[in-house]
Amino acid sequence: MDTTAPRRRLTTLLVGLLALLSVVACSAPSLHGIHSSDRAVDDRGLAGVWRDDSGNLVLDVTRQGPGHFALRVTMVDDETSLPHVLKLDAHLVELEGARFADLVLSKPQREALFDQHMALALRTHQLVKLERHGDALTLWQLDDVKLRRELAQGTIALDHAVLDHAEGGPRFVLTANTPALQRFLGAHAHDTALFDELAVVHRWVRP
């Protein structure tokens, strides 16, 4: 199985989390998260170190509390062979039987960005669907192209803002509030056409 394209999408998403306004992320960033106490779930089995078959993607997951995880993500870029390292906070939620991770930069990285760029560095969220079967973990993101088309056509009704000045052409940011995002993801949780596979990783080290 060729994993180059999914890993490249994941690299873009992770690097995008570090970008100002997150407008270069592969999947649309969201101003609001999807985590709420009534939707929160826990999975102790997520803790540990995971990697893909190539060894170029490593996820070091530490459980901070019920449904709250710290992630250290190391991703080797396919084109440059350089590693990208990110530290993220993740909250796990369940919507209509599917599980999602609400990802933001870790607090130290957010503070470092704010110290450097002040109000130009806005906190945004990336919303990732995940499914764990034992020691195998699959991650998906919203299909950016399909979502953009559906939003433009009005087929999907979800508050968003279009950034016409973004590098690489028009981009958009989801502006819907948490309940609206939860309803949207719950309604489309099992719509395979709306999600792109980011990565499949397997447990490497147990906690």
Going from N- to C-terminal start, the domains of the chain cover 4-199
| DSSP for residue 88 | E
Q: pLDDT value at position 5?
A: 57
pLDDT tens track, the chain, 207 positions: 555 555 555 544 544 444 333 333 457 899 999 999 999 999 999 999 999 999 999 999 999 999 999 999 998 887 888 898 889 999 999 999 999 999 998 887 777 777 776 766 678 899 999 999 999 999 999 998 888 889 888 888 999 988 766 555 567 889 999 999 999 999 999 999 999 998 999 999 888
**136-142/126-133 β-pairing:** antiparallel
Look at residue 3 in the predicted model and tell me its pLDDT: 53
Which contacts (CB < 8 Å, 24+ apart) does range 115-124 have?
Answer: 117/20, 120/20, 120/21, 121/20, 121/21, 122/20, 122/21, 122/22, 122/31, 124/17, 124/21, 124/22, 124/29, 124/30, 124/31, 124/173
Beta-carbon contacts of 199 under 8 Å, excluding residues fewer than 6 positions away, are: 3, 6, 7, 10, 52, 57, 138, 139
Q: Is the pTM of this model over 0.85?
A: no
Q: Please report, to the nearest 10 degrees, the dihedral formed by the alpha carbons of residues 152, 156, 161, 167 taken in order.
A: -60
Q: What is the structure's pLDDT at 10?
A: 53
Residue 180 confidence (pLDDT): 98
Is residue 91 within 8 Å of 102, Cβ to Cβ? yes
